[in-house]
Amino acid sequence: MQQYFIKGQVENPVIIKDKNTVKHMFNVMRLTEDDQVVLVFEDGVKRLARVIDRENHVFEVIEDLNETVEMPVSVTIASGFPKGDKLELVTQKVTELGAQAIWGFPADWSVVKWDGKKLAKKEDKLARIALGAAEQSKRNCVPEVRLFEKKGEFLSELAHFDKIFIAYEETAKAGELATLARELAKVENGQKLLFIFGPEGGISPSEIDAFEEAGGVKIGLGPRIMRTETAPLYALSSVSYALELNN
């Protein structure tokens, strides 16, 4: 069944006002009277609704659905700005895998340099990708997308997490394979986790020092060295296995 995220709080009847949502519902999917969809408001509750007025884009909420697919923990993925459209790929896939937020920051070894105007445009594009991926994967919420212009702004947010994991290539090269599994075994439901990934060039030594000073733990992600766009997918899959499939 089709699912759509609706801004604001639940009301009945519901009048769809967002132009992009209206276009997709009634022009692309050709909804008509009595067709049913799932609407998700900002409270994260899924609700079954039916079209009662196609011309004016009005729905009647039928019932609340007791269904959630969210992880038992909140996971934020933070990537040093990568080249090309890699952040678009990461945003789509980590949304499908359950991330609560996708962040980007200007790492020491990031090749790309985005100013405020470019960041705003990029952030808007990524937010649309996250919305589409959240609808496709039947999420209860749309992940936050946030791109930091200054690394200091990103560092100031680290204190808000219960656990910080630093995906560090040198740790993997050294053969350290147990830290992530060990730390995930200690995670409790409701905690906020942050995974930090470097750009193509990796994470600089000074960044490692700053992340560790904030409480970060260096982890390896298996014996193989992954691309910057692959590592977040591995990390989220590991969290899902440890906390959703292995309990």
Q: What is the CA radius of gyration of the chain?
A: 20
Distance CA 112, CA 107 (A): 10
Burial 128-163 (b: 16+ CB within 10 A, else e): ebbbebbbeeebbebbebbbbeebeebbebbeebeb
User: Hunting for tokens 């993997």 — which residue is that?
Assistant: 172
Cis peptide before 205 (omega within 30 of 0): no
- Collapsing DSSP to helix, strand or coil, 165 comes out as strand
From residue 12, give the alpha-carbon distance in Å to each of 64, 136, 173: 12, 24, 57
- Collapsing DSSP to helix, strand or coil, 242 comes out as helix
Q: Which domains does the chain have, with CATH numbers?
A: 3-65 (2.40.240.20), 74-245 (3.40.1280.10)
Supply 74's token pair. Answer: 């909140």
Strand arrangement of the beta sheet that strand 58-65 belongs to: 3-5, 36-40, 46-53, 58-65, 14-15
Single-letter residue type at 16: I
HEC per residue, 168-236: CHHHHHCCCCCHHHHHHCCCCCCCEEEEEECCCCCCCHHHHHHHHHCCEEEECCCCCCCCCCCHHHHHH
HEC per residue, 120-142: HHHHHHHHHHHHHHHHHCCCCCC
From residue 54, give the alpha-carbon distance in Å to each of 32, 66, 86: 6, 27, 39
What does the pLDDT profile of the chain (247 residues) look like in tens digits?
Answer: 999 999 989 999 999 999 999 999 999 999 999 999 999 999 999 999 999 999 999 999 999 999 999 999 999 999 999 999 999 999 999 999 999 999 999 999 999 988 888 999 999 999 999 999 999 999 999 999 999 999 999 999 999 999 999 998 776 555 566 889 999 999 999 999 999 999 998 999 999 999 999 999 999 888 888 999 999 999 999 999 999 997 6
Phi (first) and psi of residue 188, to 5 degrees: -110, 150
* Prediction pTM value: 0.93
